[in-house]
Amino acid sequence: MNNQQIEQRRTAAAARGVGVMCDFYAERAENATIWDVEGRVFTDFAAGIAVLNTGHRHPKVISAIQAQLERFTHTCYQVVPYESVVDLMEKINAMAPIAGPAKTAFFTTGAEAVENAIKVARAHTRRSGVIAFGGAFHGRTMMGMALTGKVAPYKIGFGPFPGEVYHLPFPQPLHGITVQDSLDALTQLFKCDIEASRVAAIIIEPVQGEGGFNVAPAELMVKLREICDAHGILLIADEVQTGFGRTGKLFAMEHHTVKPDLVTMAKSLAGGMPLSALCGRAEVMDSAAPGGLGGTYAANPLAVAASLAVIEAIREENLLQRSVDLGAQLQEFLGELRERCPAIADVRGLGSMVAAEFNDAQGKPDAAVVGRIQKEALARGLILLSCGVYGNVIRFLYPLTIPQQQFDDALAVLAESIDAAVGATVAA
């Protein structure tokens, strides 16, 4: 069947609430390339929304999954455990940016990891309040939506949400929000809405994902750590999108001098297999009673095998340095493009977690031009994702394993697409 025929079937069969960006259907994929059912070729700068830092079908991941398939596919770790889970826990405990002894629990999705982080934080502190940030994305579950600081499309029609969740503005220099603004808002929150002694946790993305790839300033992290320590509040780093090499470190919190109490992770943790984890200080993680954490498919053996292979690939192929190098090349490229394209209002990022924000001639967020850039790029065989509270940011999530020539070619396509989209705007 061709793309149009499958699309007609999808429209009739699929719930409207699950949005689909592309109008073509994948047939196969390899590293940074996707082929559709009609044989067209696309360079993938979305990577399943940051899931494929090691690329589509990495040989080590495929080999590990095949080997596990020959043994067993499911026992439910909570019923009959298996050694590979212990191996992965030990590795994550050793690698995660946690001070002192750490422990880990596995789940299936990033949202589950976040939900369980809040559960553990409340169990440990015996408090209920949680503070998050505007623009944040923490999942589509009820607690995930409550924590998420972006209404459309995630919260529309789904309330009311769990209570005692509060939001602070996230520093965004382009939009005039400073670190001091965020800290002043926290002071005001403690004065007007909830006393600090009732707050269980502050949750933050070291680099906001859906919010627009806004990088948390070092000063903010230091101050949050000080405030948490002063009031007995836990600091949770949501590294679902930033983790496993995307920012040039295994975890984005490694860019900071302070450490969180809990870290959530998923996406590129298992190279395309569904797996998430919550890692934290041992005494905090042990606050939940036996049976309080888990899930039927949590720590699926195929996903665990894939994750062990991902960790090996990142180390052996020096993908952390590759992330730094590709990100620097992209930022330099976008910086040069910005000199002749005033629609690019900002270029920012950390490692290979890079974004470009677009404004109109009046300096207002321009989601329309981003949509046109995506359309122009897709017509040229390049898959791009947008993000940001205003939908005016393009984020770049290519596999870190992408061949250099393919990366260079993709940047040329990106420039053509931006020129075509912005040119259309000027002509209009």
Confidence bin at 423 (pLDDT 50/70/90):
confident
CA dist list (Å): 350 to 7, 191, 327, 361, 413 = 37, 34, 7, 27, 23
* CA gap 305, 408 in Å, rounded: 33
* CA gap 42, 410 in Å, rounded: 10
- The CATH code of the domain that includes 186 is 3.40.640.10
Spatial CA neighbour of 348 closest among 149, 222, 185, 211: 211
Single-letter amino acid, residue 379: A
* CA gap 92, 28 in Å, rounded: 31
* CA gap 69, 316 in Å, rounded: 24
Share of the chain above pLDDT 70, in %: 99
- The CATH code of the domain that includes 17 is 3.90.1150.10
Domain closes at, from 286, 316, 346: 316
354: its two tokens: 């890079």
**Within this chain, do residues 52 and 154 fall inside the same structural domain, yes or no?**
no
Flag whether pLDDT at 14 surpasses 80: yes
266: its two tokens: 């998923």
Widest CA span of the chain, in angstroms? 65
Domain closes at, from 316, 344, 372: 316
Q: Is 217 exposed, middle or buried (0-12, 13-18, 19+ CB in 10 A)?
A: middle
**Within this chain, do residues 292 and 337 fall inside the same structural domain, yes or no?**
no
pLDDT for the residue 428: 39
Confidence bin at 427 (pLDDT 50/70/90):
very low
* CA gap 371, 396 in Å, rounded: 15
Q: How does DSSP classify residue 173?
A: G
**Within this chain, do residues 219 and 300 fall inside the same structural domain, yes or no?**
yes
**Within this chain, do residues 68 and 27 fall inside the same structural domain, yes or no?**
no
The average pLDDT across 33-45 equals 98
Flag whether pLDDT at 424 surpasses 90: no
Contact indicator for 37, 3 with CB cutoff of 8 Å: yes
**Within this chain, do residues 235 and 284 fall inside the same structural domain, yes or no?**
yes
The average pLDDT across 198-217 equals 97
pLDDT, tens digit (0-9, with 9 covering 90-100), for 336-354 = 999 999 999 999 999 999 9
> What does pLDDT average to over the chain?
96
Q: How does DSSP classify residue 360?
A: -
**Within this chain, do residues 113 and 222 fall inside the same structural domain, yes or no?**
yes
Q: What does pTM read for this prediction?
A: 0.96
pLDDT, tens digit (0-9, with 9 covering 90-100), for 116-144 = 999 999 999 999 999 999 999 999 999 99
pLDDT, tens digit (0-9, with 9 covering 90-100), for 252-295 = 999 999 999 999 999 999 999 999 999 999 999 999 999 999 99
Domain closes at, from 299, 316, 333: 316
**Within this chain, do residues 46 and 73 fall inside the same structural domain, yes or no?**
no
Between strands 234-238 and 262-265, the pairing is: parallel
* CA gap 191, 162 in Å, rounded: 22
**Within this chain, do residues 365 and 345 fall inside the same structural domain, yes or no?**
yes
Count of domains forming the chain:
2
The average pLDDT across 396-416 equals 98
**Within this chain, do residues 389 and 337 fall inside the same structural domain, yes or no?**
yes
Range of the domain at 361: 3-57+318-427
**Within this chain, do residues 327 and 181 fall inside the same structural domain, yes or no?**
no
**Within this chain, do residues 123 and 240 fall inside the same structural domain, yes or no?**
yes
179: its two tokens: 């670190």
Between strands 234-238 and 199-204, the pairing is: parallel
The average pLDDT across 409-420 equals 97
**Within this chain, do residues 153 and 235 fall inside the same structural domain, yes or no?**
yes
